[in-house]
Amino acid sequence: MGPLKWALLGVLLSASLFAIDSVELRRNQPTERISGSAGDVLEDDPVGRLKVFVYELPSKYNKKILQKDPRCLNHMFAAEIFMHRFLLSSPVRTLNPEEADWFYTPVYTTCDLTPNGLPLPFKSPRMMRSAIQLISANWPYWNRTEGADHFFVVPHDFGACFHYQEEKAIERGILPLLQRATLVQTFGQRNHVCLKEGSITIPPYAPPQKMHTHLIPDKTPRSIFVYFRGLFYDVGNDPEGGYYARGARAAVWENFKDNPLFDISTEHPTTYYEDMQRAVFCLCPLGWAPWSPRLVEAVIFGCIPVIIADDIVLPFADAIPWEEIGVFVDEEDVPKLDTILTSIPPEVILRKQRLLANPSMKQAMLFPQPAQPGDAFHQVLNGLARKLPHNKNAFLKPGEKVLNWTAGPVGDLKPW
């Protein structure tokens, strides 16, 4: 890059931050309520609109697994654990299954971690099949619908396809026994075999208390234009390159590693959360899956999420106006990121900041302990309530069978 171009980039950075600062783009921007139906949906109260029966399973399906590896409580897949805990004490819970609208099976299928903390989904299909066999043998409710009035939390990379590599997840497909159930999952991508119609897409788990301890003063200026920390290449799993993140992260690095507008690195500093609060834009590119905790972190810290993941289905999209609070960039347009972001007028940036400052927006992205009105737990319940009443086709005729219990890879049919 020639000296002239460096100088121009320096001027561009200064001009961008000056334009933003001239309209006082700070962390304490006034809030703006989401207009129209989206705001109303976000603030819905599910209590009184549905009743949920929680199956009591042997502890080997949940509590004992967690006791074996408490790291699962802080993993980005921990929503399955906290959803279980929430429902046990929730006012929507009923102890009478005859009056239930929905049935929940607490299975911790993601709590199997390597020493490095990476999830291993290979036992998950057998574990889930075992749990379904158990509830179908001991209660009559699964058999009358074959799961059409049941929901399962499956926060794996590719949901109930139970694999972290997309190609193999597509090959596996959704576990056959879950074909009629409602899936609550972090994975969401349009026209994808691992996202069935009617699924509820949720945010990944990010520890609320940890983020709260890293809040910085409201008046701190946002002096970083674009921020990202994470992998650009996954040499261990993708040695030839190009497959990981469909090449989008590699394109970010190759095009902007020397651009002063971009504060990007593979290093994860202790000031990571603080840095996000000093940034105007936070990159949220796909990795192995289209989603990541960065999306939650960006919203919580008021950093405008730049979503680079074609066809992504975002959490609670019927309640959160992602088009208004974020910036969407096609994967093929990554080389033009600098032009795209510097072309956004300051007044548009300001409005996105005001929307992000809305407490209800932040609350909807979190699974706090204890639960709070409007949080992610309640957004899941709102999603379930909006599906009621169940379609008449959900209930099978006596003796009618739809699901094939012997379908799927041979390894999945082995006892768990």
Sketch the domain layout of the chain as residue ranges.
46-205+373-393, 208-365
Of the candidate ranges 95-109, 124-138, 397-411, the one whose mean pLDDT is the lowest? 397-411
Mean pLDDT of 150-155: 97
Cα separation of 359 and 319, whole Å?
14
The per-residue pLDDT of the chain, averaged, comes to 90
What pLDDT is attached to residue 30?
66
Distances, alpha carbon 15 to alpha carbons 2, 27, 222, 267, in Å: 20, 19, 14, 28
Cβ neighbours, 10 Å, residue 390:
13
What pLDDT is attached to residue 31?
63
More confident: 29 or 415: 415
- Could you report the per-residue pLDDT of 11-24, keeping only the tens digit for each? 344 444 444 443 34
State the number of CA atoms in the 13 A half-sphere of 14 facing the CB: 6
User: Which of 1.10.10, 1.10.150, 2.60.40, 3.40.50 would CATH assign to domain 208-365?
Assistant: 3.40.50
Mean pLDDT of 352-373: 95
Task: Tell me if 196 sits within 8 A of 173, measured CB to CB.
Answer: no
Residue type, 190: R
User: Helical H runs in 257-319?
Assistant: 272-277, 294-300
What pLDDT is attached to residue 1?
43
What pLDDT is attached to residue 28?
56
The dihedral sign for the CA sequence 163, 168, 174, 176: negative
- Could you report the per-residue pLDDT of 176-220, keeping only the tens digit for each? 999 999 999 999 999 999 999 999 999 999 999 999 999 999 889
Cα separation of 45 and 364, whole Å?
12
pTM here is 0.89
- Could you report the per-residue pLDDT of 234-255, keeping only the tens digit for each? 988 887 777 899 999 999 999 9
Q: Which residue has the tokens 């890293």?
A: 214
- Please give the distance of CA 303 from its chain centroid, rounded to a whole number: 17
What pLDDT is attached to residue 18?
41
